[in-house]
């Protein structure tokens, strides 16, 4: 799959994976579903869900480190700045042979375009928060969030998953 195809699919994910409402109950359900999905594959991830910058769900599984929380913070900053998934922003820069820091001057200690942070969109409102996973390779972090959101939003019949990784 090419970068353009990935970006097209991520844009579709961002359009389709929208909530009618989002509150602490939804955050708890999605967070627990992310934890269960990670456990099912024996993955060790840290999970963070925030609404308007307020933490509603946070969990660090055995095998994660404080570094995972730093990755979460940095990925979340990208999503809150651009209202796009962190993976989409990273791929956009990869396609243009640029970096976020080189193009915008944003400091890498505060911003990361690695995959795993997805915007929380509420229909008719826009981006209201973030759902972030850290601990897997970036494409898998992104895929875990998308898969759980697709199940939670009952969109399982749609083809929203990214194809297998691109070959370098």
List, in order of start, the domains of the chain with CATH numbers: 3-152 (3.30.450.150)
Phi, psi (deg, nearest 5) at residue 59: -150, 130
Copy the structure tokens of residue 100: 């976020």
Please name which of 61, 52, 45 lies closest in space to residue 142, comparing C-alpha atoms.
Answer: 45
Phi, psi (deg, nearest 5) at residue 74: -70, -40
Please report the pLDDT score of residue 20 as a whole number.
97
Please report the pLDDT score of residue 167 as a whole number.
57
Are the C-beta atoms of 100 and 89 separated by less than 8 Å? yes
Q: pLDDT by residue (tens digit) across 47-67?
A: 999 999 999 999 999 999 999
pTM assigned to the model: 0.95
Question: Sorting pLDDT into bands at 50, 70 and 90, what band is 166?
Answer: low
12 backbone φψ class: left, alpha, beta (φ>0; ψ -120 to 50)? alpha
User: Cα–Cα distances in Å, from 79 out to 29, 31, 47, 84, 112?
Assistant: 21, 18, 15, 5, 9
User: Residue 28, SS3?
Assistant: helix
Are the C-beta atoms of 108 and 71 separated by less than 8 Å? no
């Amino acid at each position: 799959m090419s970068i353009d195809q990935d970006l097209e699919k991520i844009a579709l994910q961002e359009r389709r994976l929208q909530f009618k409402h989002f509150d602490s109950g939804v955050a708890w359900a999605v967070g627990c579903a992310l934890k269960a999905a990670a456990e099912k594959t024996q993955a060790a991830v840290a999970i963070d869900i925030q609404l308007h910058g307020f933490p509603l769900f946070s969990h660090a599984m055995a095998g994660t480190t404080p570094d995972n929380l730093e990755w979460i913070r940095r990925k979340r900053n990208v999503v809150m700045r651009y209202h796009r998934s962190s993976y989409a922003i990273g791929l956009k820069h990869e396609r243009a042979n640029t970096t976020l820091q080189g193009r915008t001057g944003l400091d890498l200690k505060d911003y990361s375009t690695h995959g795993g942070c997805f915007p929380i969109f509420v229909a008719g409102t826009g981006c209201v928060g973030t759902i972030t996973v850290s601990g897997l390779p970036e494409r898998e972090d992104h895929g875990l969030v998308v898969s759980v959101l697709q199940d939670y939003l009952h969109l399982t019949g749609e083809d929203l998953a990214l194809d297998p990784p691109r070959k370098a």
